[in-house]
Amino acid sequence: EPTRGCDAYSLAWHLAQELGPRLKSRIHRITFNEITKKAVLAAIDNPQPIHQTRFESQQARRILDRIVGYQLSPLLWTKVRRGLSAGRVQSVVVRILVEREKEIRKFVPEEYWSIEAILQGATGPAFVAKVIEDSEKKKFRPENEEQAMAAFGKLESAEYKIDSIDKKQRKRKAPPPFITSRLQQAAAKKFNFTAKRTMMVAQQLYEGIELGKEGSVGLITYMRTDSARISDDALAGARKHIKTIFGDAYLPNRPNRFSTKKNAQDAHEAIRPTSMGYPPEQIKPYLSHDQWKLYSLIWRQFIA
């Protein structure tokens, strides 16, 4: 069952009903988060019974879809296009987007100007300094071009000196592994991928890529998840890889753990490579251009 939790429970429940009560005690359900031999065998070794309550939760989902859909879908047919449908999730999301768009349109922009100086001493590289205060220690924010040019005229012939230097130490925490929404955002920002394109490529990496003599190999875990959880096996594999490739200096004393938001469904792990045995550079000849870019992105985020 590499499909979404509630729908899969419904499938399992209905299959059990069709097979009849005599076989009921012998019917079990297995789940796995990645399509690899190890994951499938581990799932077979750990079969679970079919829980009635989880089947009922799927039925509740279907009822909610109909309560919302039966009222909204006909409206879409008359106002937008026949054949469109509305559900309990997308309809709420569309409302949030519309409300946000209304807020954006209500925003009244205010004009302001900023001035920067490119400075360089007798030695050392040039750097950019931004004017933030005037001579009376008031916030510098010219409201029109006339005010900005008046200040610029004075600053153009001014002498500059370093008054003080503050030294600070900053720590940057490791980034969490990808969940679905963050993967879509990162792919859009770095590669200009649409969400649909990202999920299509991720599906290909999840279902399996032909790697020569090895055959079809699932390269990433399930790509629909909002959990940042990582399995102990995956953590151990990542730590071994980091120690081997980068050395002890880059290996944290303890594995990084990331909390999952309170209302997240934790059925699936975060999106990660299924094995450290398939670094992007090694399998690049077997991947399409899009597959290579997305797999490399997932790999780097997980190792980081």
Could you tell me which residues are beta bridge partners of residue 129?
A: 117
Cα distance from N-terminal residue to C-terminal residue, the chain:
30
Catalytic residues: 222
SS3 state at 178: strand
The 10 Å Cβ neighbour count of residue 260 is: 16
Give dist(CA 119, CA 130) in Å, integer.
Answer: 10
Q: Quick one: the chain helix, strand, coil %, rounded to 5?
A: 50, 5, 45
Cα–Cα distances (Å) from 111 to 116, 234, 248, in that order, read 17, 52, 52
Token pair of 32 as six digits: 């796995």
Return the half-sphere exposure (C-beta side, CA atoms, 13 A cut-off) of residue 276: 15
CA distance 123 to 248: 37
Bridge partners of 48?
29
